[in-house]
Amino acid sequence: MTRPKTSRKPAAARRSPRGLRRILVALDGSAEGETILDQLKELLAPRSVVLLMHVIPTPTPSTGEQLSDLLHVEEEAEEYLEGVAERLPQARVRWIVETGDPAERILAAARDEGVDAIALTTHARSGLSSLLMGSVARDLVQKAGRPVFLVRPGVPSRAARRKILVPLAGPEGALGVLRAVQDLAKQTESTVTLFHVLPAPRVADSSTGFNPIVLRPIQLPEVAWLDPIVDLFAHHGIRAEKLVRMGEPEEWILEEARERDVDLIALPTRGREGLARLILGSVAEHVVQKADRAVLLFHRVEE
């Protein structure tokens, strides 16, 4: 189905995330770009709505021959998406083919269709090739006003073990994360691990390099602000636990994801301390590029 550009109407209000019940999947036609499909199968609720989208770059200049070629390309794209739809029998699937700037068209479609999340493979080689945390992905995460579900190409699909790792910088924004994750955790019957990384103290002598921490392990604080969040998850019928570590956030996130064999890393991209660099900086990009499992990014999660 081709949606005309004239159908664009800004959403009246930004909706709170509610799991993955209505999701837009950006595809470029490559096998790498389809990696996201296998990751979604275990996360989609029954009868979810999936909107498959392909964006064709705008041709210049628009001669009669080029317009004819464009119509042929659009027909091929629709046939491709129709075939992809058969791979998601548990969902109600529609498809969208548009011409223009990928980020602009995806963002406009997400607003018009009122989707709960946008999903894509992070660095396919054609079509949406700049999605390796480049300008397109940054625009989507910064401007979409909803979660963006990302996975590296070639990451294998996972049997449903139902575990979600949620790194948190602090209590600010935590309730927004609760709203964003709770429906997803419920529909997949997942256990949620709320994860906080404390900065490592630097007390080594500047002249000798001696660091007493090496000899005496630090007793980590309880981080009491996590406890009521765990209780809130429990109140909503979600199994939750807290986890505290000390060191580099990006390394601990990847290590705990592997050690706990989580299915998904749900990563807020706003914070003022601890994980503050997650605002589309080195931590988020490092995790997305290195993770051997899917990542769900939340930008500007509101209370």
Q: What is the pLDDT of residues 13-37, one digit of tens each?
A: 444 445 578 999 999 888 888 889 9
What does the pLDDT look like over 158-168, one tens digit per residue?
Answer: 766 689 999 98
Q: What is the CATH number of the domain that holds 115?
A: 3.40.50.620
Q: How far apart are CA 182 and CA 178, in angstroms?
A: 6
Let me know if residue 274 belongs to a domain: yes
Q: Is residue 6 exposed (0-12), middle (13-18) or buried (19+ Cβ within 10 Å)?
A: exposed
**278 Cβ partners below 8 Å, 6+ apart?**
167, 169, 249, 267, 268, 269, 270, 271, 284
Residue 283 predicted with pLDDT over 90 = no
**Which stretch of 173-182, 199-208, 210-219, 280-289 has the lowest confidence by average pLDDT?**
210-219
Which of the pair, 22 or 136, is modelled with greater confidence?
Answer: 22
3-class DSSP state for residue 98? strand
Q: Give domain status of residue 303, yes or no.
A: no
Instruction: Tell me the pLDDT band of 44, cut-offs 50, 70 and 90.
Output: confident
Q: Is there a single domain that holds both residue 16 and residue 88?
A: yes
Residue-wise pLDDT tens digits, 226-281: 999 999 899 989 999 999 999 889 999 999 999 999 989 998 775 444 334 444 45
Mean residue pLDDT of the chain comes to 78
Q: How far apart are the first and last CA of the chain?
A: 37
Same domain, 91 and 178: no
* Residue 198 placed within a domain: yes
| Domain end point (choices 151, 180, 208) | 151
Single pTM value for the model: 0.80
Query: For residue 266, what are the β-bridge partners?
Result: 296
Q: In this structure, is residue 96 part of a structural domain? A: yes
Out of 99, 123, 151, a domain closes at 151
133, 167: one domain? no
Mean pLDDT across 111-131: 74
Is 7's pLDDT higher than 50?
no
* Separation between Cα atoms, residue 120 and residue 37, nearest integer Å: 9
Query: End of a domain among 123, 151, 179?
Result: 151
For residue 55, what are its two tokens? Answer: 């964006």
Say whether both 216 and 279 belong to one domain.
yes
Q: Residue 93: pLDDT band by 50, 70, 90 thresholds? A: very high
Q: Can you tell me the distance from the alpha carbon of 266 to that of 31, in angstroms, rounded to the nearest whole number?
A: 25
Q: Is 185 exposed, middle or buried (0-12, 13-18, 19+ CB in 10 A)?
A: buried
Q: Are residues 80 and 102 in the same domain?
A: yes
Domain count along the chain: 2
Residues 16 and 101 in one domain: yes
Q: Are 253 and 293 in contact, with CB atoms under 8 Å apart?
A: no
Asked if the structure places residue 157 within a domain, the reply is no
Domain that holds residue 217: 163-298
SS3 230: helix
Residue 177, domain member (yes or no): yes
Comparing 218 with 75, which gets the higher pLDDT?
75
Packed helices 226-235 and 174-188: angle between N→C axes, nearest 10 degrees? 40
Mean pLDDT: which of 4-8, 78-82, 139-143, 148-152 is highest? 78-82
246 shares a domain with 216: yes
pLDDT tens digits for range 178-191: 777 888 888 888 99
Rounded mean pLDDT of 59-71? 64
Q: What is the mean pLDDT of residues 128-146?
A: 69
Which region among 13-17, 37-41, 80-84, 224-228 has the lowest average model confidence (pLDDT)?
13-17
